[in-house]
Structure 1
Amino acid sequence: MKAAVLTGFGGPERLLVREDVAVPRPGRGQVLVRVAAAAVNNTDLWTRHGAYGLPEDPSALAGWRGTIEFPRVQGGDIAGTVVELGAEVDPALHGARVLVDPALYEAETAEANPVGLLGSEADGGFAQYVVVAAARAHVMTGSPLSDEQLACLPIAYGTAMGMLERARIAEGESVLVTGASGGVGLALVQLAAARGAHVVATTTRDKSELVSRSGAHTVIRRDADDVVEAIAGAVAGGLDAVADVVGGDSVSRLLPLLRDGGRWVIAGAVAGSGISFDLRRLYLRNLALIGSSMHTPGHFAELAEVARHGLVTPRVSARYPLSEIHAAQGEFARHAHVGKITITP
């Protein structure tokens, strides 16, 4: 089969498109999925660069969970069709159109934490076929979303769903989404709006209109004279929650905007991982600071329901064939796109 094979840490030259990769065979409890569409993520680039570091050596070349076994087929965002079943798999799955949960979990419970990822700790979807656990293949019969739109969901929207669920963001609550034009940020806007939250979003001037069309009630431009004042003016009485993918100095500046009992959930630190804030503001106002990495099986099941009913409309920013994966990753790295860049094998 054709597959994009990562041969080691480094630049684009370590990613080879090959035609001679063996089609994997499903084992017990697994299915073989013919990939209809995949999508590019930060995880793909960070893994190729070995940019995650190790706890004892932040500068070490490493994947998300440490060691990566090469060669590795990357790609965690996968939609396709089940074409072969392993032992002890429900025969009804054969031929089903599916959305794949890319997480590898510590246990088979709805609340299990992810401990690995397709495309990182196991082969992923930048190929014509991929083997996945049958329990991770969610049937999409009746979904109005295209294969490419489904492929936009797993990592970005899964991460966003995990954030919203862990922060218990509910209908009628006011939530600030930072970095709202990025993959996870735009997913947060759409998913929060779909559950009836009042969404305030921060983004750049040129992407404001699209973020507004995606469901944000108020969009604050990052170049505003006083971002904090602008947000405060948009939510009289304060914010119920902040869904943050930016981090950095904004945490200390925006934390006072949370009303008593508010929640700050964070899943990224592109603006800086080292922060400083007044702990007294945290405990005296019963605030919660929540770290969120990806999603649980339960969170992804919620996302699958959203996909089946078409409650969100993922934006496909650009499309590439698998043979042009280097160009796809190059465009992704420039960060000029809004939405997701998809790959078709």
Structure 2
Amino acid sequence: MFTVLGVCTGLYMLLKGMNVMKVGLENLSREKMRRALANLTATPVTAALTGMVLTMLAQSSTAISVLTVGFVNAGLLNLVQAVGILLGANVGTCITVQLISFDLLHLALPAAAAGAVLWLLGRQNPYGQLGRALFGFGAVFAGLHLMAAALAPLQHAPWFTGALVSLQRNAALSVVAGALAAALLHSSAAATGIVMLLSNQNLIELPTAVAIVLGNNIGTCITAVLASLSGSRAGKQVAAAHVLLNVLGALLFLPLLYPFALLAGCTADSLPRQVANAHTLFNITSSLVVLPVIYHFTALVRLVVPDRLR
């Protein structure tokens, strides 16, 4: 019961903290985002750079993908511009995962305390939104620490280790599990943070962690898909492009899982950092592969979701 309570409380703090941080950063940069999306997407390269920078500002690729769907529905962006933004957003989200991979617990409480004061005093002004983001930052790392403490006893629970062993025997099942986790959490960064926790507790090996991360990237697309359901065909094409980008990337990397995990293992000393670096390498490589053939990729998207219903 204490383990379940600790994990649930830590997960709530992690998700709530990420949401509070995201909203604070979005409010700080909302007008900049709108102007950038409208003015800085003339070419695929500038669109990708814009998507990357905006995602780094908002700390949420999901927010940028949903915003992009909205702009396409409104006729302010075309499909090529939108795909460029998604390519950049996939790279920008790596910053969040890289931050989570560091042991920043010693900064969590001071950041949360300072953020709470600024938030209470500033409310809706920029200082208040900065405080909101700082409070969320502190809650994220406090939640991760609480979850780590709660998960520690599970190293000796046969049912839990048995479930993880079954994942380690089947890479495709690990991808599916990762996709479901990110879809339920509506955040690939949060799901990847949990994977880093499990690896840090030596509960899963690096290849399994990498496979789950590949699934996390697929699962995070669900929010953009849901946002597109009531919109135009163009908006549905953007959501389909987001799904295709991550599914094709996972299919590209899955046969190379063990060499890729070996490469990621050479990039850092600790498992959480290796997982974060694998996530970064995957997203950068996927985006760089698609960017030169973006017009062919959008043609594929139009085959999957035609411009008009037949």
- Do the structures match in fold with TM over 0.5? no
**Larger strand percent:** 1
Structure 1 length-normalised TM:
0.27
Q: Which has the higher helix share?
A: 2
Bigger relative contact order, structure 1 or 2 (CA pairs below 8 A, ≥6 apart): 2
TM-score (norm: length of structure 2):
0.29
